[in-house]
Chain A
Amino acid sequence: MEYIIRIKKKKRNILNDKWVWKMAWRDARKNFSRLFLFISSIIIGIAALVAINSFNDNLQSDINSQAKELLGADFVVNTNKGFDSTVIAMFDTIQVPQATDARMASMVLFLSDAGGTRLVQIIAVDGDFPFYGEVETVPEDAFSKVKDGFYTVLDENIATQYEVSSGDSIRVGTLAFPVAGIVKAIPGTGSLSSTFAPSVYIPMKYLRETGLVQYGSRVNYKRYFKTETTAQADEIIKQIRPTLRKYGYGYDDVAERKEELGQSFENLYRFFNLLGFVALILGCIGVASSVHIYVQEKKESVAVLRCMGASGWQSFNIFFVQAVIIGLIGSMLGAFLGVVVQYFAPLLLSDLIPLDITLAISWSAILEGVLLGLVISILFSFLPLTNVRTIPPLTVLRTGFEKIKRFSKVRLSIILLTLIFPLTFAIYQTESAFNGSTFFLTLIAAFLLLTAVAKGLIYLVKRFFPHSWGFVWRQSLANLFRPNNQTTVLVVVIGLGAFLVSTLSLVQNSLLNQVEFVGSGTRSNTVLFDIQPHQKDGIVALTNDNNLEVQQLVPIVTMRIQSIKGKTVREIQQDTTDNVSNWAITREYRVTYRDSLIDSETLLKGEIMPEVINPDDSIFVSISESMLDNLEVDIGDEVIFDVQGVQIKTYIGSYRDIDWQRIQTNFIFVFPNGVLEQAPQFFVLMTKTDDKQQASKYQRELVAAYPNVSVIDLSLILSTLDDFMSKIAFVIQFMALFSIGTGLVVLAGAVINSKYLRLKENVLLRTIGALKNQIVKMTLIEYGYLGLFAGLTGIILSLAAGWGLSVFFFNIIFFPDLITLGIIWGGVAALTMIVGWVNTRGIISRSPLEVLRKEV
């Protein structure tokens, strides 16, 4: 007989197939703890992202809203050579409120009970600066007293340190100013900047009388302008720009200040964005690995459903619905946690940022976080879940029967999407196609290498299996390659986690080392500058009297460029065809003369001319390589300098690489001996003090006898720097904790999930007489192997990634901290073993029958 072959299927999509939703709930209610693993990696990943992005959003909006307060005016003109009288005349014609200040580093002597000397920033003020924002002082009128009378005010931190209060006096140069009060806050400076360069404010009209401004003194002058509108500021700038350019003066307006501030936080942004990216990728790995292992266990159940008549997509949808709902809940919890964490950010960062950080909820960051969490849940659960569709119903009859189609159009599309997502996100988060692609490719390379290592490990263990080893060692080693092994998944997940965490640690370490320098050994730790020629011998004698060695006494001559290759500065400025930097041809150069290189310099090309013997000889100077492009010069080119009205014709004789990070007196131009000896000059002296008492006595005597000479005490800077670094380190570590936390959750999730696959065979071993001790040992050894191999591979890969990130992304020197890497390696292996052991305890503490009967 013939039956008509016709299938009348009602096609139901996921939304109207109630059975799918019912089954999803039924399955989930018995698997809450498992699904929590899935959710936890999303929660932490999204929390990190929301916290970081909210903070970035708030910081950006604070910069926008507070930029005027930070500048204190609508625009400001600055120079380090004093305003020319014609320029001042031009300023006077501009009918808007103006104010002036002059800033320079100098020693001050505290005439308080505590006494002492300190290098500070002297700020001489004149006019109503700041035009925006308030200067907070105690008492309230202290700052206005400085503007009107013969008073000083100083930053709170040095006032506290040197026990200075109203009524005491401070000697600045040759004048002793009564203290009018303490500055608690001033627009544009954070407490950190006052830690580094604490300020003492004096009236401008007394600056000259202090005697601090001498030949070679580095003074920065600023002229502040307050306009009615931004358009008015732009108009004035447009008018005065040619004159400013002619004299080489710089200017700053609110827009530029915003940009500068944005740039100064760029590394912080970049690091935080990197953290966000890492946290998210770890979340992705967590989702994919949790779902992968979950699906492995669900094979039999799915096969039963397939026998009963469930379609491939219906089976798939049961778990997909779970992933989406759990992902959404996890994302929302993550976003909530992120907002909570964000509220701690100002507590952490208030010292580092010269802004009042707003505590606003960034809805865009929250929405972005929730959407990203949802997308990750969908995308990264989709691929492992596609296997559900092709689980053959025959599995119910033949355990282990697998006929999973590895490549289908759906799988291929999902693979493509899962690749495109991290790439797109990386580009979005780093705001750079190159950087984002590099991040992404590094991750893919790490993924492929880890897979290769896992496969290689399985092959090698099989190939060279140690048959003579004892049962426990053989059994645990064999677990690495036996059917249903999780070696590849665990090596990839653990390895990728270790890779990301140690890369982060390497970058963090390099960032922290960036500002660290060495003031140890026989290197100088005290630098005296602004020494006038007539003071030189006296200061050398005073140094020797204090039993200190004069390690370097460097002459410095200030000069400007008159012409390059026959073209005057004016001609170069007018010539639009060249690319010579205006600042480079108008700036004042501090130049020294000597016959050889010092240890922070490396000769790259040409020869160092030691001395000019005959006055008619050509003078060959050495230039820093970094200035070649700015001045468009090369070996043999003529450069004429103006040294206090005297023109000196020179030729570029060589160029050098200079390590500017070294605490040395480094110079762009170095003249040979025999040229500048008679020019107006001042000296820098370097010495090394052995202890605080000696340094303190030496500095007191210096300031008393030579008030214009300033002392840089490197030990003081180092201790300040240490304080600064510990604050920064805390912030970085706090934020990195999120990414590391996600990594740990993913690791624990991978190990805990793999337990379910090992459960039955461990119970069987127990049933046939394996001792608890043997099961524990086997578990520890198996997970130990996995942790060690995966951790080591991840860490080796992270060295390459850390180097690349440090050098090319952050533009800093790469400082691998091998001890920390060792700790991470040990930590990963130990954690893998501990999690494995904790899981096994659940099996060995119960009777085999109990476990066999308990559904898993």
Chain B
Amino acid sequence: MPEILEVQNLVKKFKSAKNELTVIDDISFAVEEKSSVAIVGPSGSGKTTLLGLCAGLDLPSEGTISLVGIKLNALDEDDRAYVRNHNVGFVFQNFQLLATLTALENVMIPLELRGEKGIAAKAKELLGRVGLGDRITHYPSQLSGGEQQRVAIARAFISSPKILFADEPTGNLDEETANTVTDLLFDINKEEGTTLVMVTHNMALAENTNRIIQLKGGKLVADQKLAKAL
């Protein structure tokens, strides 16, 4: 399978007034299309930073990132936003729904940004798939955590992304809800044939993927391919 994400000699340093902190230290790996990868490691190991860099939310201090064949280093913020809109979906730990928008409006945003028309039907269908067909006019504050995360999953898939980045998608949910959300995430991912890159502490969740990358102190310490296919 071709590679959809390629990371080479990636370094990320944060500078403060007094010192410099290396959060990602010379990491290289590549992710094949339609595969699923879990990035695991203890707190402060650089998981979320790596996810952000891979998704083009930030630029590395050194090294290169190619996402869907496009070198992100060469792009400015608006160009990277364009790349994200056309290729990337996100699911966050704290859901990140827009408080002033209804569930339906939240889901429609990625396609609205592309200027597409007739998207409400698709958004409703997706909300129906995540079990929220009757809550489309509700605002985030009127939904439970699990419901909010389901809206976020619908939003992530509406633009048919080539790659989905998930940051601790069940981190804020109870076990039962987490299981429901996980099932939903993997099911839709499978149906859509999307590549999944997920940051998690939950090894059980990580074992659902077909590859686990382990980080420690900003370094890649293990890269394990699992036999289990999606």
Residues of A bordering B, CB below 8 Å: 1-5, 7, 9-10, 12, 18-19, 22, 26-27, 29-31, 300-301, 303-314, 390, 392-394, 396-398, 853-856
Contact = CB atoms under 8 A, between A and B. Distances in A.
Contacts of A314: 113
Interface string B43-62: 00000100110010110000
Given A308-B109, A312-B78, A398 B69 contact: no
B95 to A, nearest CB: 10
A30 B100 contact: yes
Contact of B79 (A7, A22, A855): A7
A-B interface, 10 closest residue pairs, ranked by CB to CB distance from nearest: A3-B69, A309-B85, A855-B99, A30-B100, A311-B78, A855-B141, A394-B57, A393-B57, A394-B58, A304-B96
A823 to B, nearest CB: 42
A406 to B, nearest CB: 16
Interface in B4-23: none
Interface string B82-118: 1111101010100011111100010001101111000
Contacts of A305: 98, 109, 113
B96 A300 contact: yes
Contacts of A397: 48, 51-52, 57, 92, 167
Given A4-B69, A307-B84, A308-B84, 4 more contacts: A7-B83, A305-B113, A309-B110, A310-B113
22 contacts: A5-B69, A5-B71, A7-B70, A7-B79, A9-B79, A10-B115, A19-B112, A30-B100, A300-B96, A301-B99, A303-B96, A304-B97, A305-B98, A307-B90, A307-B96, A308-B110, A308-B155, A309-B82, A309-B85, A312-B81, A397-B52, A855-B100
Nearest to B75: A7
B74 interface: yes
B139 interface: yes
Interface residues of B, number: 45
Contacts of B57: 307, 392-394, 396-397
B210 interface: no
A31 B100 contact: yes
B100 A310 contact: no
A485 B98 CA distance: 24
A416 to B, nearest CB: 24
A309 B84 contact: yes
Pick the most buried of B55, B86, B113: most chain A CB atoms within 10 A of its CB: B113
B48 A398 contact: yes
A311 B92 contact: no
B218 interface: no
A848 to B, nearest CB: 15
Contact of B115 (A4, A19, A26, A301): A19
A301 B139 CA distance: 14
Interface string B24-49: 00000000000000000000000010
Nearest to B102: A26
B208 to A, nearest CB: 22
Nearest to B56: A393
A29 B100 contact: yes
A10 B113 CA distance: 11
A2 B69 contact: yes
A9 B82 contact: yes
B98 A22 contact: no
A10 B2 CA distance: 28
A311 B81 contact: yes
A737 to B, nearest CB: 36
Contacts of B78: 9, 311-313
Nearest to B51: A397
Nearest to A2: B69
B82 A311 contact: yes
A160 B146 CA distance: 84
A396 B100 contact: no
A2 B48 CA distance: 27
Contact of A12 (B52, B97, B115, B139): B115
Given A12-B115, A305-B109, A1 B3 contact: yes
Contact of A19 (B51, B92, B113, B139): B113
B100 A27 contact: yes
B66 interface: yes
A301 B98 contact: yes
A548 B135 CA distance: 95
Of listed A2, A10, A390, A393, residue having the most chain B CB within 10 A: A393
A792 B55 CA distance: 50
B100 A392 contact: no
B158 to A, nearest CB: 10
A2 B69 CA distance: 6
A2 B99 CA distance: 40
A265 to B, nearest CB: 51
B2 A1 contact: yes
Which interface residue of B75, B85, B155 has the most chain A CB atoms within 10 A? B85
Contacts of B70: 3, 5, 7
Contact of A22 (B69, B81, B83, B112): B112
Contacts of B92: 396-397
B192 interface: no
Contacts of B223: none
B140 interface: yes
A309 B112 contact: no
B81 A306 contact: yes
Most buried by B among A4, A310, A856: A310
A144 to B, nearest CB: 77
Contacts of B139: 30, 855
A26 B69 contact: no
Contacts of B77: 306, 312, 390, 392-393
Contacts of A29: 100
Contacts of B55: 307
A853 B51 CA distance: 28
Nearest to A852: B141
Contacts of B97: 304
Contacts of B69: 1-5
Given A305-B109, A307-B57, A396-B96, A853 B141 contact: yes
A389 to B, nearest CB: 9
A305 B86 CA distance: 14
Contacts of A18: 115
B73 to A, nearest CB: 11
Contacts of A300: 96
Contacts of A5: 69-71, 74
Contacts of A306: 77, 81
A26 B85 CA distance: 20
A275 B57 CA distance: 49
B68 interface: yes
Nearest to A22: B112
Contacts of A312: 77-78, 81
Interface string B197-213: 00000000000000000
Most central of A5, A390, A398 by chain B CB within 10 Å: A5
Nearest to A6: B70
Given A3-B69, A5-B70, A307-B84, A854 B113 contact: no
Contacts of A3: 66, 68-70
Contacts of B100: 26-27, 29-31, 301, 855
A313 B70 CA distance: 23
Contacts of B86: 309
A318 to B, nearest CB: 11
Nearest to B144: A853
